[in-house]
Amino acid sequence: MKERNLNLDLIRCLAIFSVFSIHFISHSGFYELEMTGFKSFIIIFFRILFMICVPLFLLLTGYLMNKKSLNKKYYFGIVKVIFIFLCAKLFYLIVDGFYFHEIDRPSTILLHIFSYSNSVYNDYSWYVNMYFGLFALIPFLNLIYNNLKTKKHKQILLATLILLTLLPTLNFKQLTIFPNWWVNIYPLTYYFTGAYIKEFGFNIKKSYTLLILFLTIFLNSICYFILFYNKQILFMSFNEYYGLVTFIIAIFMFGFILNLNLSRLSQNLKNIVIEISKLSFGMYLFSFIVDKVLYDKFINIVKNINDRLIYYFLVIPTIFLLTFCLSYIFNFIYNKFIQPKIAKLTNK
């Protein structure tokens, strides 16, 4: 059996941690505050940093799946994603029905289940909505990438995608300097970038990588703080998941962790990192209902938005623990009862 790359597991752990942190900033009402003082600057800084959550997952997908090909075994790989997704939906419906009493008719159940991008039932499953399509395309994307004969050709592919999906986020208001029609295919840019890093590595010294990371986030935070001083913050597209600045931060964070020497970590710590990594997808999906219940209590207990930041160190570990347990339970059910049947089907 191929040995796990602990660096990739650590990247996935950071990604799920960043997801929970981004949601904390959003659910705690910090976007409603006017940007004044050091606390506001800290919130801006970490919001910019934690936006790497989705990009890291997409880079990992490209890094790990760039050799997948058209075969039955590959397509059966989506079964676990669908199973965990439906379990999260079912758990969501049960808690929502008993706790929030929002399940009032059968059509509401259908709206919950098929709410990938519904603004009313925005239960974080937009990522699954995107991933289904990406999963279906991966064998064909690999044919494109792996049939490019030279490093230069692959660099031209990346440059083309950056031009089409990332540079348009630098457009200012109605000034369409860069054509922006293709922005929504930004997952392909991350996917191919992950594949490129897998093939050619990330060959920048860790000290330089860390410096570039800090300066990019710090200078960006200063610009935001000046621009929105005494105003509610309005984030620009270049700092969203599909934004050029977020892309730069995600690439350098990915490369920095990828090049870390983790051999000195204790075996217990390694096991924890691996387990969180394995359960991260379920943790992400189950976090919606955990967030909904927890933040409903939290914002009613801590009324003042300015007082909520310090509770980050209580709220995030709580969400981590609860979602870990839920994901563990349903992953166990899948591995125990469903995975063996899938293995038989794929081996026929």
The Cβ of residue 259 has, within 10 Å, a number of other Cβ atoms equal to: 15
Of residues 173 and 227, more confidently modeled: 227
- 82-86, 217-221, 327-331, 343-347: which range is least confident on average? 343-347
Contact 220, 239 (CB under 8 A): yes
Q: What is the pLDDT of residue 120?
A: 47
Q: pLDDT tens across 22-74, in order?
A: 999 999 999 888 888 898 999 999 999 999 999 999 999 999 999 999 999 99
Q: How far is CA 131 from CA 66, 144, 149, 169, 260, in A?
A: 15, 19, 28, 22, 28
The residue length of the chain stands at 348
- What percent of the chain shows pLDDT beyond 70? 94
Q: Which residue has the higher pLDDT, 267 or 3?
A: 267
Which pTM was predicted?
0.95
Please calculate the CA angle 22-127-237 and round it to the nearest 5 degrees.
Answer: 55
For 307-310, the CB contacts below 8 A with 24+ separation are 308/28, 308/29, 308/30, 309/28, 309/30, 309/39, 309/42, 309/43
Weakest-pLDDT range from 35-39, 116-120, 238-242, 302-306: 116-120
| 103 has pLDDT over 80 | no
> What does the pLDDT look like over 186-196, one tens digit per residue?
999 999 999 99
Amino acid at 198: K
pLDDT tens digits, residue range 123-181?
A: 688 899 899 999 999 999 999 999 999 999 999 999 999 999 999 999 987 778 898 99
Average of per-residue pLDDT across 215-233: 91
